């Protein structure tokens, strides 16, 4: 039996979940892996605060150095969340030769280059399965299972809050604001929901996934980002009639050294595996040149699922004779060999409010035609508001800028654009 | 750069796929893992046969000892399929201190205890990701990612041929024999389809998955097995009306030390993630005490997907300073601590052909009631054949033996049993 001494940075929900899971599976881990984990100290903000997990009070400390600088601690587990002080604390632990396991997507996405450099310099490991999609082993799949593939596409439902909101909007026909309010009331959305609903959370995770998939650094700042705030119940209903389900999708595609990376509301066909991922569940769909299509589905958040990934990393870290690091140039900026395509090709769902007069439809389709945007289907929905009728177009594959230019060319007296939603997975 | 010399046992479709994938990704593997794989010999039945993959003729041999006994060969990759000579060849390679990577579910399921014993005795590794579900990294997930969980259930669509047949039956309303014939014509089912359609293939894979999930040996002989041969288009259609999709499901559940393991046609609710796994795709759905619910979806067969898993194992094997083996008592029989429950509880879909006379329905429901099988819904379908009407019952959760006894008690003049299909995933 080998004893591995660990320290926690943070002991809230996730830390408590890890403590409980380690307690509950100690016998199994000892038997299977021959390792005994001993928690020496846990850094908390307030050592007197009541905790739901029965962690002994003597293990709590409010002094970072008790964890970061204790030479007996082999592995530091970071649950602080956010950029700072998480990055600085992890750097200090790594400089002390420790291995770090983190569940922190923000700190990893923003500080990966710094963290990896110190890990490599001082011989420690850096493990982050829990930073993306909770228990779902998508990081391990990319690094250890699908490594003989060229990954061509990653498409993920990687934010549970937005998927919960969109699922309820679709089921109940309610508007965004109504469902968001309800989600906040139930504790499923934050009082300030921006990180989730504006796509920031998904962009951090996509930065990590795309970097590993493409063996090149894809910074979060290069990811196009659009939230779900302007989605209406009407878009979801019209899409449903056309066999489409709305998701906040994180998309990364690669064509040789050119990539496109984007987070935005996206329709997927009902028969696509991503369409049936509902509620707070997450899923990551991958395309690779050898494995073809693959999808990982599971709980992307929550204390116990996150703890499952953290403890898995911890066992891996403790058992590894040496630590693996990505071989791409891990730097703050994008890897120099990467080109970023913002004029991607997609299918577009476009809802217009059009004037109900002769010649208008011809003018509208003329704008599309002038920019080589070809229409796959058009539905004129019933109901007129102030002489305006709702028109929904679905295009064939077209380029982003062509579509935007075509819409710009439309005369306001003919039609105004109500929504533009990309369609993937056909 | 470290050179690892490898040998193939077999060089048909899978071996050819591995050869091609290794050729195509040699640069990537060298860069990322610092390993160069050199194929020294490939055992084939006929060295003069034309091959689709441009493997140099000088590497081919028809003498097993050229691969098994060559001290320069570090890792042997086995693609022979079937029980023998695959098991004996792998044992010989292991006794020579080599590591073995196999894609062979039959040999692993039947010879695992022998293979693991020799691997542990002589210090070699035994890797088998490709033996179950092709490219899908479900073996690695169980051993390396979800190891801090108690796995409570495994439910898998792990045979592509039967899923293809059932998907087409559902889409086209055709009968089993018709679709099977078509699948055989297209090369998607074997001339002798028994291994697939009778559930043997799924049972071998379930034996491997359940053993890893439950940390105890679940021999294939203890798995209840029922094929899809007696499924009618009518069952699928009636199920569809009730929101159910038919799959050949491999089910393993655990309750403390008691397990139930079974392969049979199964209805799953349309909203369950397994329901939308169509065509030749595979999926494995897991329940664990920490991660909750998880599903892995992908191509479970095919040369390139299988090669993806083999090469992943190969890299893992070459990089590992020591090899991991399951810690359960790996023996031919079931692990002694396991109990096997064959009187499992499930929901049942039961189709009867009933006499259209007063009192018959009361007699039928009386039989269910007498065995404490409670009915959740009943549909009498239109149409009468020879004074008989089709009746479909769906039960609440009931025990297998109670249901079977209730059906036995029905008088043939009242009703005959047309089909009994278990329902999982509610």
Q: Can you tell me the ipTM of this complex? A: 0.95
User: Which residue in chain B is spatially nearest to A135 when comparing CA positions?
Assistant: B291
Q: How many CB pairs under 8 A join A and B?
A: 171
Compute the average pLDDT of residues B198-208: 98
Q: Give the model confidence (pLDDT) of A44-100 as tens digits.
A: 999 999 888 889 999 999 999 999 999 999 999 999 999 999 999 999 999 999 999
A16 CA: distance to closest CA in chain B (Å): 13
Q: Does residue A299 sit at the B interface (CB-CB below 8 Å)? A: yes
**CA triple A114-A288-A321, angle to 5 deg:** 45
Please tell me the predicted confidence (pLDDT) of residue B387: 82
Partners of A245 in the beta sheet?
A268
pLDDT band at A6 (very low <50, low <70, confident <90, very high): very high
Helical pair A176-185 and A160-172, crossing angle rounded to 10 deg: 120
Please tell me the predicted confidence (pLDDT) of residue B383: 74
pLDDT band at A182 (very low <50, low <70, confident <90, very high): very high
User: Residue A49, exposed/middle/buried by CB under 10 A (0-12, 13-18, 19+)?
Assistant: exposed
DSSP B385: B
Residue that is written with structure tokens 């599903």 in the block: B295
Please determine, for residue B328, whether its predicted confidence score (pLDDT) is greater than 90. no
Q: Does residue A21 sit at the B interface (CB-CB below 8 Å)? A: yes
Instruction: Write the residue in A144, A215, A304 that is nearest to B140 by C-beta.
Output: A144
pLDDT band at A145 (very low <50, low <70, confident <90, very high): very high
Please tell me the predicted confidence (pLDDT) of residue B231: 96
d(CA A376, CA A374): 7
Q: Give the model confidence (pLDDT) of B108-139 as tens digits.
A: 999 999 999 999 999 999 999 999 999 999 99
Please determine, for residue B53, whether its predicted confidence score (pLDDT) is greater than 90. no
Choose from B2, B28, B132, B148 for mutation: most chain A CBs within 10 A: B148
B50 Cβ partners below 8 Å, 6+ apart?
A: none
Tokens representing A284? 């990551």
Cβ atoms of B187 and B139 within 8 Å: the answer is no
CB contact under 8 Å between A148 and B315, yes or no, is: yes
Query: To the nearest whole number, what is the mean pLDDT of chain B?
Result: 96
Q: Does residue B129 sit at the A interface (CB-CB below 8 Å)? A: yes
CB contact under 8 Å between A290 and B275, yes or no, is: no
Please tell me the predicted confidence (pLDDT) of residue B51: 87
User: Residue B28, exposed/middle/buried by CB under 10 A (0-12, 13-18, 19+)?
Assistant: middle
Please determine, for residue A321, whether its predicted confidence score (pLDDT) is greater than 90. no
Please tell me the predicted confidence (pLDDT) of residue B330: 74
Please tell me the predicted confidence (pLDDT) of residue A198: 98
**List of chain A residues whose C-beta atoms are within 8 Å of the C-beta of residue B16:** none
CB contact under 8 Å between B299 and A294, yes or no, is: yes
Q: Which one of the listed residues B205, B247, B253, B287 is annotated catalytic? A: B205
**What is residue A256's three-state secondary structure?**
coil
Please tell me the predicted confidence (pLDDT) of residue A50: 87
User: Which residue in chain A is spatially nearest to B140 when comparing CA positions?
Assistant: A145
Please tell me the predicted confidence (pLDDT) of residue B57: 94
Q: Does residue A278 sit at the B interface (CB-CB below 8 Å)? A: yes
d(CA B76, CA B97): 10
pLDDT band at B321 (very low <50, low <70, confident <90, very high): confident
Percent of chain B with pLDDT over 70: 100
Please tell me the predicted confidence (pLDDT) of residue A5: 98
Tokens representing A282? 């997450």
Please tell me the predicted confidence (pLDDT) of residue B245: 98
Tokens representing B258? 């008691």
Please determine, for residue B61, whether its predicted confidence score (pLDDT) is greater than 90. yes
DSSP B64: T
Give backbone dihedrals phi and psi of A41, rounded to 5 degrees, phi first: -140, 150
d(CA A408, CA A411): 8
Please tell me the predicted confidence (pLDDT) of residue B1: 87
User: Which residue in chain B is spatially nearest to A304 when comparing CA positions?
Assistant: B290
d(CA A58, CA B86): 57
Q: Give the model confidence (pLDDT) of B370-412 as tens digits.
A: 999 999 999 998 877 778 999 999 999 999 999 999 999 999 9
Please tell me the predicted confidence (pLDDT) of residue A158: 98
Please determine, for residue A248, whether its predicted confidence score (pLDDT) is greater than 90. yes
Please tell me the predicted confidence (pLDDT) of residue B143: 95
Q: Does residue A337 sit at the B interface (CB-CB below 8 Å)? A: no
CB contact under 8 Å between A294 and B25, yes or no, is: no
Choose from B6, B22, B290, B319 for mutation: most chain A CBs within 10 A: B290
Per-state percent for chain A, helix, strand, coil, to nearest 5: 40, 25, 35
Q: Give the model confidence (pLDDT) of A374-407 as tens digits.
A: 999 999 988 777 789 999 999 999 999 999 999 9
CB contact under 8 Å between A305 and B297, yes or no, is: no
Which positions of A are annotated as active-site residues?
A: 205
Instruction: With CA atoms as reference, report the closest residue to B77 among B85, B67, B69.
Output: B67
Within 10 A of A284 (CB to CB), how many other CB atoms are there?
Answer: 28
d(CA A181, CA A230): 15
Residue that is written with structure tokens 């040996």 in the block: B217
User: Residue B5, exposed/middle/buried by CB under 10 A (0-12, 13-18, 19+)?
Assistant: middle
User: Which residue in chain B is spatially nearest to A306 when comparing CA positions?
Assistant: B291
Compute the average pLDDT of residues A222-250: 97
B9 CA: distance to closest CA in chain A (Å): 21
Please determine, for residue B153, whether its predicted confidence score (pLDDT) is greater than 80. yes
């Amino acid at each position: 039996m080998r004893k591995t001494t660990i320290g926690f940075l943070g002991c809230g929900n996730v830390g408590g979940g890890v403590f409980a899971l380690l307690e509950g599976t100690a016998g199994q881990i000892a038997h299977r892996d021959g390792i005994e984990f001993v928690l020496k100290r846990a850094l908390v903000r307030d050592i007197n605060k009541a905790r739901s997990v029965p962690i002994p009070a003597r293990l709590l400390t409010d002094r970072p150095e008790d964890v970061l600088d204790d030479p007996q601690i082999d592995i530091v587990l970071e649950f602080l969340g956010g950029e700072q002080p998480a990055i600085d604390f992890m750097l200090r632990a790594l400089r002390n030769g420790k291995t770090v396991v983190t569940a922190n997507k923000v700190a990893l996405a923003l500080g990966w280059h710094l963290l990896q450099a110190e890990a490599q310099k001082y011989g420690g490991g850096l493990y982050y399965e829990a930073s993306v999609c909770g228990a779902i082993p998508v990081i391990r799949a990319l690094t250890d299972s699908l490594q003989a593939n060229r990954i061509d596409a990653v498409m993920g439902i990687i934010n549970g809050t937005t998927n919960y909101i969109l699922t309820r909007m679709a089921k109940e026909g309610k508007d965004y604001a109504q469902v968001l309010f309800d989600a906040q009331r139930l504790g499923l959305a934050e009082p300030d929901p921006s990180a989730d609903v504006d796509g920031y959370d998904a962009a951090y995770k996509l930065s990590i996934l795309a970097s590993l998939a493409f063996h090149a650094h894809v910074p979060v700042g290069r990811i196009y980002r659009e939230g779900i705030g302007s989605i209406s119940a009407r878009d979801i209903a019209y899409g449903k009639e056309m066999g489409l389900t709305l998701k906040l999708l994180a998309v990364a595609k690669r064509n040789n050294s050119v990539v496109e990376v984007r987070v935005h509301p996206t329709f997927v066909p009902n028969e696509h595996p991503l369409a049936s991922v509902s509620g707070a569940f997450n899923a990551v769909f991958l395309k690779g040149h050898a494995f073809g299509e693959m999808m990982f589905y599971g709980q992307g958040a929550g204390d116990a699922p996150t703890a499952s990934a953290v403890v898995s990393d911890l066992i891996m870290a403790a058992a590894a004779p040496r630590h693996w690091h990505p071989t791409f140039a891990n730097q703050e900026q994008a890897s120099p060999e990467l080109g970023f395509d913002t004029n991607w090709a997609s299918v577009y769902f476009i809802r217009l409010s059009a004037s109900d007069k002769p010649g208008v439809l011809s003018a509208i389709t003329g704008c599309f035609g002038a920019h080589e945007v070809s229409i796959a289907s058009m539905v004129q929905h019933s109901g007129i508001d102030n002489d305006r009728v709702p028109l929904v177009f679905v295009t064939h594959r077209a380029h982003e800028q062509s579509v935007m230019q075509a819409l710009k060319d439309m005369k306001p007296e003919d039609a105004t654009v109500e929504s533009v939603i990309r369609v993937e997975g056909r």
